[in-house]
Amino acid sequence: MSAVKYRFADVDGFKVFYREAGSSDAPKLLLLHGFPSAGHMFRDLIPPLADKFHIVAPDLPGFGQSDMPARGKFTYTFDNIAGVIDRFTEVIGFDRFAIYVFDYGAPTGFRIAVRHPERITAIISQNGNAYEQGLSDGWNPIRTYWQDPSPKNREALRAFLSPEATRWQYTHGVADADAVSADGQNLDNFYLARPGADEVQLDLFGDYKSNVALYPSFQQYFRTHRPPFLAVWGKNDPFFLPPGAQAFKHDIPDAEVHFLDTGHFALETHAGEIAERIRDFLGRNTRA
């Protein structure tokens, strides 16, 4: 089993923290986390894959141990986050790679794929959405903010940043909440409690509408390039619904779609099964 290394990359002055495992000669796999987490969410996925793949899991800008510049120095949009991670892949020598996208990692990774389709060997989406039918009514308070970005509507979104909300995201739809470790969610809450982190996250809630606006572009990329595609989806996710997973097959008919009896953070309960599916899928489909 390959040891996990913990490193920082200087991305044109922006410090990006990342986890790395596996041989540099192995097929490359980029893991992109979501809200409100960081690369630590992959702690149970990396070890069973590291013997076959060169894995890198960065913390997105403003998350985890990567830099979180003041909002006056860095504008927190998904375009800017994707720009940093795109450049990060170049800095660390990831020229061709598969991507695993979850939640916020999806609009980040899909932007990179649209910009550089020749670099993407395969895509694994774990509750990483690209279709409006995948968005649940749980997005309604955020949609309200998109339509009217008033201080009142922004303030209403702070409920999503509470420790109770984080716990709920981890346990909703899980058969046995006691099977979900508190470690990951407690670390997420620590990062959310940092000075200024709340405003960063509220900015990103507002900018998420830019991702929905890009769904047609993402879908055009899927239709045009037909990357090998695996969706492994927690079917009880309160934010990203199963129709969002099924929709990938509209544009990539050969996409493989599997549903797991769990919630949003599927790796907390099904990391072993997801790892097995990835090993099989990439073993059959990764493009040289």
Which of 33, 54, 172, 264 is catalytic? The answer is 264
> Peptide bond preceding 151: is omega within 30 degrees of 0, i.e. cis?
no
Alpha-helical regions (H) of the chain = 46-49, 78-91, 105-115, 140-147, 151-156, 163-171, 182-192, 197-225, 242-246, 248-251, 267-285
Specify whether 270 is catalytic.
no
Quote the tokens at residue 273: 């099964």
* Chain Cα centroid distance, residue 268: 14
Long-range contacts of 246-255 (CB under 8 A, 24+ apart): 247/130, 247/131, 247/133, 247/134, 248/125, 248/130, 248/131, 248/222, 250/219, 251/219, 251/222, 251/223, 252/222, 252/223, 252/226, 252/227, 254/226, 254/228, 254/229, 255/229, 255/230, 255/231
Token pair, residue 108, equals: 């980040």
Sequence-ordered list of residues with C-beta below 8 angstroms from that of 73, at least 6 positions apart, any chain: none
- Catalytic site residues? 264
